[in-house]
Structure 1
Amino acid sequence: MRRIGTPPRIAALTLASALLAAGALAGAATPASAQTTAVRMDYTCTTSAGPAVQLTVWVVGGLPDDGAGPNSVARHEPAFIDVDLDLRELRPVLTIPGGVRLDTDSTAVLDAHITGPDGTRTTQAPFTISPTWLTTTQGTAVRAAGAFPVQYFSTPGEYSLHVDDLALTLRPKRADGTSLGTVTASCSHDPAQTDLLGTVTSQGAIFERPPRPDGLRVVSTTPTSVTLAWEGYSWWFPVYGYDVYLDSGHAGLVTEKQVTLTGLTPDKQHRAKVVSRDTIGVRSATSQGLIFTLPPA
């Protein structure tokens, strides 16, 4: 008889059987995160460059997929929520004859609130802007990558993530690198607009699996490559290897706690994650994502 108040456990062999049926033990890789969710936000922005402007932003969330089912987490484990921005029509604010460039010293901050069984909490996601060239005829979208601070959903149930105001700090440059100063924008949306980015389910089960890798970091970069390293931990069974993911795609399986990824595009922003795999095929939860930008060629 199971004791009252004791959460159910999902055993390693049960997980291994499911993975075997899915081909995991034969070397197939599972996704590093759940299917993304997105919401379009129409903002009115007050800027330091002049009159208010209208700005359309697609907010794309990478919700955790670490429980038994999509967009779910175990209540006792941290939840990592990635979020990306696709900002449209910044040209009227920034462009000058000859065009301007935005680099990673341009930033954004997105306010949000999370509502669940334990009430409502507020949070903020910081972003770095991906290198972008804007002219009067091209470069209509500016993209930025970020993440919310680690969340804990300790009470089982559904938690909804809602998008709020947006702040931008943009530092445009000329083609020769000359700074054009700083443009700030404070943006708010119509309260009647749909602002739900997605929902996460917190589950009471205890998932018996290897500890997730942590300490993911950049060791070195070139315009076309990056070397990453991390910390990994064994449990009942030895670690067999680590699945490395780049921009949600499976980049490969390695046996060391370091990898060099080559053939990448210069001057581009990326997000990497790592999952450990033991000798019977059981995988850990996904590591926290790491955002980095390669230098130009």
Structure 2
Amino acid sequence: MRNRWTPFRVTVLSLLTAGTLTGVAGPASAETTAVRMDYTCTTSAGPTVELTAWVVGGLPNDGMGPNSVANHDVALVDVDLDLRELRPALPVGGGVRLDGDSTAKLDARIVGPDGTRTTQAAFTIAPTWITDVQRTAVRAAGAFPVQRLTTAGYYDLRVDDLTLALRPERADGTPLGTVTASCSHDPAQNDLLGTIWSQSVFIERPVRPSAPRVVSTTPTSVTLTWDASPWWNPTAGYDVYLDGGHVTFVTEKQVTITGLTPDKQHRAKIVTKDVQGIQSAMSQGLIFTLPRA
């Protein structure tokens, strides 16, 4: 017979006073985990490619402790790819460029107390120049679809096969067609990206912002907006994070970030703060790439 979990209710401020969570007045950063996957890829260009991928996941830290989430809340899992040695699959010939037109998808399984479910993370490739004499790492940013881990307990996130759709181009923008790759790994290889602890607890705090989106970009700036809902206390404003670092605090549901580097990929997140300084969990990440100068 399955154990029954009795939910209990806490507030962010009471957690801070009790010392249950360190620094909980601010949003908890996602716990970073990583696993190395060695893939054998069949490509549309002909050659079979041996590819190494570091899969880096940002597990939720929204509950009472690392890698945790309240079972009434959603679990947001960021994931990045660090792909090594794509040259054999591409018509390099002196150098080609990959950017956000190139994509990847990563299959995964979530194994928990309510059984096994499948999911798939979608990625966009960061701008990368690949030459025939350079062992360049190709990086991609993405996320798994929102998960609801409603049965309290531990959930293992295990990664599986990888597919690529690469669209190389010359430096002048001339497209070189699409190269696809279907990649499988040794089933005996460790595939555990991390474990999420779903807790029977209700944490009272502001509602996290939703639907972050890009309004406009220039080679060195971006304007973002998002949706937000009030809770018990009035909202003071919103903390904006870029690539894991705090950028600014704004009072409106929009921000313009300047001084950025052209042709670079970023992930932005938003946090609501109320007049008592209580903060929400972080929004879902928004991935975008600035245009070339």
TM-score w.r.t. length of structure 2: 0.94
Aligned pair partner of 1:191 in 178, 187, 190: 187
Using the TM superposition, give the Cα deviation of residue 8 of structure 1 relative to its aligned residue in structure 2, in angstroms.
0.6
Distance of 2:130 and 2:76 partners within structure 1: 32
RMSD of Structure 2 on Structure 1 (CA):
1.9
Unaligned residue ranges in structure 2 (runs of 5+): none
Contact kept? 1:95, 1:136, Cα under 8 Å: no
The residue number in structure 2 matching 1:289 is: 285
Contact kept? 1:132, 1:139, Cα under 8 Å: no
From the superposition, tell whether residues 5 and 140 of structure 1 become closer, same or farther in structure 2 (CA, over 3 Å): closer
**2:107 pairs with 1:111:** yes
Contact kept? 1:133, 1:139, Cα under 8 Å: no
The residue number in structure 1 matching 2:9 is: 9
The residue number in structure 1 matching 2:233 is: 237
Distance of 1:177 and 1:221 partners within structure 2: 20
**2:27 pairs with 1:50:** no
Q: Which amino acid aligns with 1:224?
A: T
TM-score w.r.t. length of structure 1: 0.92
**1:168-247, aligned counterparts within 5 Å?**
168-247=164-243
SS of residue in 1 equivalent to 2:31: coil
The residue number in structure 1 matching 2:153 is: 157
SS of residue in 1 equivalent to 2:233: coil
The residue number in structure 2 matching 1:81 is: 77
SS of residue in 2 equivalent to 1:45: strand
Deviates more, 1:163-172 or 1:139-148: 139-148
Count of matched residue positions in the alignment of Structure 1 and Structure 2 = 289
Aligned pair partner of 2:129 in 130, 133, 158: 133
SS of residue in 1 equivalent to 2:158: strand
Distance of 2:125 and 2:5 partners within structure 1: 46
**2:252 pairs with 1:256:** yes
Using the TM superposition, give the Cα deviation of residue 139 of structure 1 relative to its aligned residue in structure 2, in angstroms.
5.5
Contact kept? 1:16, 1:281, Cα under 8 Å: no
From the superposition, tell whether residues 56 and 236 of structure 1 become closer, same or farther in structure 2 (CA, over 3 Å): same
From the superposition, tell whether residues 117 and 181 of structure 1 become closer, same or farther in structure 2 (CA, over 3 Å): same
Q: Which amino acid aligns with 2:109?
A: H
**2:37 pairs with 1:41:** yes
Q: Identity of aligned pairs, percent?
A: 70
Distance of 2:8 and 2:267 partners within structure 1: 34
SS of residue in 2 equivalent to 1:167: strand
SS of residue in 2 equivalent to 1:175: coil
Distance of 2:42 and 2:12 partners within structure 1: 54
**1:50-69, aligned counterparts within 5 Å?**
50-69=46-65
